[in-house]
Amino acid sequence: MTTTTYFHYRTCNLCEAMCGIEVHHQGDKITAIKGDMDDPFSAGHICPKATALEDVYHDKNRLKRPVKRTENGWEEISWEQAFDEVADNLLKIQAQHGNNAVGIYLGNPNSHNAGSIIYAPALIRALKTKNRFSATSVDQLPHHFAAYFMFGHQLLLPIPDVDHTDYFLMLGANPLASNGSLMTAGGIERRLKNLKNRGGKLVVIDPRRTETAKLANEHHFIKPAADVFFLLALVNVLFNDDLVDVGHLEPLISDAHIHQLRDLVADFTPERVASQTGMSAGEIRRITHEFAHADSAVCYGRVGLSMQAFGGLCQWLMNVINILTGNLDSVGGAMFTQPAFDVVAFTSLTGQTGSYDRWRSRVRGLPEFGGELPVSVLAEEMLTEGDGQIKAMITVAGNPVLSTPNGAQVEKGLESLDYMVAIDIYINETTKYANIILPPATGLEADHYDVVFHVLAVRNSAKFSPAMVHIEDDRRYDWQIFQSLANILDKKRGGKAPNRKDYTRRMSLSQLLDFGLRVGPYGVNGGRKNRPDGLSLKRLHENPHGIDLGVLQPCLKERIVTPNGKINLIFDHVLVDLPRAKAVLDVPQDGHDLLLIGRRHVRSNNSWMHNSNRLMKGKNRCTVMINPHDAQTRGIDDGDVVVVSSRVGQVEIPAEITDEVMQGVVSIPHGFGHGRDGVQLDVANQYAGVSINDLTDDQAIDAMTGNAAFSATPVKVVCK
């Protein structure tokens, strides 16, 4: 008897690259996962993570039905019982201690699921709490901060036009490992090689010679968290050497802001910043001139710049550099997408462009941004007694024990809770503290549309991926879990039926996706016109490889939502924070031993793909990289187990001696630290490693934005 092999086309949802994949399967048995050569966006590229979708699908540790923690261990319960118990316990705690006694944390994977992006807000609203947290404030919050204050919307993020630029200045980013970050670009290595082949130049500034740095035309070491001084000096040179030319942006910029900016950067000359950055004044000047004289250029930086004490200033300065050279909203520069499902346009119409400082955290008094508090305050809000203390938590596809600063303190906070709920598919380092875990169908079982990453893509496109297999009747999708919990909470509070305009309370995911596509810029009903050939969910079903919607086009004038319709080049928070940078400009190093930075590997994605044997097998990747000079002065040999300690904790980890990190710097990958008691991840526990966030400091934040300042954590390293 022969078995028919079917071909299922979808977008891999394991990172930001939106790579198209071709899944070969016989019923629910997967026989191969390959790159989809007909995908117009990724053109056949995939990375090793895509093949691991099979591992997630077949993972015996993956939960499929609700479980409850009992004295006899975890026990399966029905969805009805789970929803009732969760709602009753949360409402009981809120009745006794107030609405803010319940907190919620959303992890990184939520951005990769349309069900979470669209439906989680309904649950958040139903909880009526101000204690909301997410992975945003350990990652890209400074990007959103700059976008909100400069362009009027926290999601109006400029994207490098990598396919057309002549000069790519990249700081604190390693897209060959991340596959692109806030730069969705399937096949980024090919795109960067094409940049060089057409005579362009890639310059990487980073404390580590990363995989991307090795591909670049130039790599320059820079001291961790010193990027702000390099960027300020670059702006200084633009003014002093008469290189400022805003070009087509002139109608969108205030002349007064330009003159004010010149004065603000006057003290940050290349000579003044040389000792802080470790880069010579001559190199800074040369790079600035090359950037300004290129036919097109883009300045781009990611987590290495966001996760530091001046993350907000860094992201503002990169926008400033692109603006002053006329490279914002210009082909080959930093551009804005026009996605088919246009969340920027939808939220702009309803006034949901972002927010700042509507409330503050109870203990440290840090302001909210976009409805969330900085996750650095999560542990103290659980552990500090008094009115407003968090007594219960919901975590959604998140593992803050491993992904937020001072993870050991977060563990103590979770252990102290009266009640905890997790919406997750694993019993991991965080969810093991839950009373009930609600596991959604995921990956190949679920419909998929990249609501977020089409907004961040280097080319406009649209693609819908229907589920490969149907789930059993006693399973639930993430959107159904959010919808059910929100409705049950409201019902038990005595609320009325959902408002007809609250679509997430009464419509399915496919209905909402279809609606968004139809009214979007390319839709059947887009622009209030009826276009039979326009986009709809039906049309995407008919085009399983996706639809190419063209290159990025200048569009800022139409999309900007500041009150006066102009770029807000300078805003109050910059004026407050620049003196802080100036105050440390000439301050000598404080005598710390070494500065700790993180790193990422293409076969890893934070902590959530560590239960795949095909990704984890091979050479141990959880090592501390240390420069040969620093190793020699400490008597450390390659492979020695060393003790790395910081203000908040210490770990024991093998040393990897390499000149890929600059002197004075050590690097540990993030996402490890498995093997804790109660964690049911068989593969991850075999490759436990240590958590870098047992060393990072919850008190170290970017004062402007509240983002965690992971980079440049002072540490000591000694032989065990």
What was the pLDDT predicted at 502? 74
What was the pLDDT predicted at 499? 65
CA distance 359 to 381: 14
Write phi, then psi, for 241 (nearest 5 degrees).
-105, 20
Exposure class string for 442-472: b at 16+ Cβ within 10 A, else e: bbbbbbbbbbbbbbbbbbbbbbbbbbbeeee
Give the angle subtended at the CA of 576 by the CAs of 571 and 577, to the nearest 5°. 100
| Mean of pLDDT values over 506-518 | 93
Q: Which residues contact 567 (CB under 8 A, 6 or more apart)?
A: 150, 151, 249, 252, 253, 323, 328, 556, 560
Residue 84 in any domain: the answer is no
What was the pLDDT predicted at 183? 97
Q: Are 149 and 278 contained in the same domain?
A: yes
What is the phi-psi region of residue 675: left when phi exceeds 0, alpha when psi lies from -120 to 50, beta otherwise?
Answer: left
Residue 169 in any domain: the answer is yes
Q: Are 36 and 170 contained in the same domain?
A: no
Residue 443 in any domain: the answer is no
Q: Which of 349, 355, 374, 347 is nearest to 363 (CA)?
A: 374
To 10 degrees, what angle do helices 227-240 and 572-585 make?
A: 100
For 278, which DSSP code? T
Q: Which of 134, 131, 132 is nearest to 389 (CA)?
A: 131
Residue 109 in any domain: the answer is no
CA distance 202 to 195: 8
- SS3 call for 393: strand
pLDDT for residue 205 is more than 70: yes
Give the angle subtended at the CA of 306 by the CAs of 139 and 129, to the nearest 5°. 45
Where are the extended beta strands (E) located within 510-613? Answer: 547-551, 594-597
pLDDT for residue 527 is more than 90: no
Where are the extended beta strands (E) located within 268-346? Answer: 297-301, 334-335
What was the pLDDT predicted at 646? 97
- Please report, for the domain that includes residue 303, its CATH number: 3.40.228.10
CA distance 314 to 228: 5
- The model's pLDDT over 679-702, given as tens digits with 9 standing for 90+, comes to 999 999 999 999 999 999 999 999
- The model's pLDDT over 347-403, given as tens digits with 9 standing for 90+, comes to 998 889 999 999 999 999 999 999 999 999 999 999 999 999 999 999 999 999 999
Confidence of residue 501 (pLDDT cuts 50, 70, 90): low
Q: Are 154 and 293 contained in the same domain?
A: yes
Which residue blocks in 168-245 are alpha helix, DSSP H?
175-178, 188-197, 211-215, 227-240
Write phi, then psi, for 18 (nearest 5 degrees).
55, 45
- The model's pLDDT over 589-636, given as tens digits with 9 standing for 90+, comes to 666 689 999 999 998 888 888 999 999 999 999 999 999 999 999 999
Residue 383 in any domain: the answer is no
pLDDT for residue 39 is more than 80: yes
CA distance 339 to 553: 11
**Chain centroid to CA 89: how far?**
31
CA distance 194 to 158: 21
What was the pLDDT predicted at 495? 76
Q: How far is CA 598 from CA 178, 213, 252, 693, in A?
A: 13, 16, 38, 10
Fill in the amino acid letter for 647. Answer: R
Where are the extended beta strands (E) located within 180-303? Answer: 201-205, 218-220, 297-301
What was the pLDDT predicted at 586? 80
Show the 3-state SS of 125-155. HHHCCCCEEEHHHHCCHHHHHHHHHHHCCCC
Q: Are 170 and 40 contained in the same domain?
A: no
- Please report, for the domain that includes residue 54, its CATH number: 3.30.200.210
Q: Are 575 and 643 contained in the same domain?
A: no
CA distance 486 to 496: 12
Q: Are 567 and 686 contained in the same domain?
A: no
* Residues forming beta bridges with residue 168, ordered by sequence position: 202, 298
Domain limits for position 218: 143-339+560-580
The mean pLDDT value of the chain amounts to 95
Provide the whole-model pTM. Answer: 0.97
CA distance 416 to 200: 55
Residue 683 in any domain: the answer is yes
- The model's pLDDT over 282-291, given as tens digits with 9 standing for 90+, comes to 999 999 999 9
What was the pLDDT predicted at 593? 84
Q: Are 631 and 576 contained in the same domain?
A: no
Residue 619 in any domain: the answer is yes
Q: Which residues contact 391 (CB under 8 A, 6 or more apart)?
A: 93, 97, 101, 102, 417, 418, 419
pLDDT for residue 647 is more than 80: yes
What was the pLDDT predicted at 1? 43
Q: Are 656 and 567 contained in the same domain?
A: no
Fill in the amino acid letter for 187. Answer: G
- Please report, for the domain that includes residue 710, its CATH number: 2.40.40.20
Q: Are 564 and 713 contained in the same domain?
A: no
Residue 480 in any domain: the answer is no
Last residue of a domain, one of 551, 580, 609: 580
**Domain tally, the chain:** 3
Fill in the amino acid letter for 164. Answer: H
CA distance 145 to 312: 7
Tokens found for residue 583:
């105050």
To 10 degrees, what angle do helices 227-240 and 281-293 make?
A: 60
What was the pLDDT predicted at 500? 59
What was the pLDDT predicted at 605? 82
| Mean of pLDDT values over 535-551 | 97
The dihedral through the CA atoms of 265, 266, 270, 272 has a sign that is negative
Q: Are 674 and 567 contained in the same domain?
A: no
CA distance 84 to 485: 9
Residues in the chain: 720
Q: Are 569 and 602 contained in the same domain?
A: no
Tokens found for residue 201:
């130049």
- The model's pLDDT over 578-591, given as tens digits with 9 standing for 90+, comes to 999 999 988 876 66
Instruction: Give percent helix, percent strand, percent coil of the chain, each to the nearest 5.
Output: 35, 20, 45
Q: How far is CA 587 from CA 422, 578, 582, 591, 712, in A?
A: 46, 15, 9, 12, 16
Tokens found for residue 467:
């589920």
pLDDT for residue 5 is more than 80: yes
- The model's pLDDT over 72-91, given as tens digits with 9 standing for 90+, comes to 999 999 999 999 999 999 99
Q: Are 569 and 640 contained in the same domain?
A: no
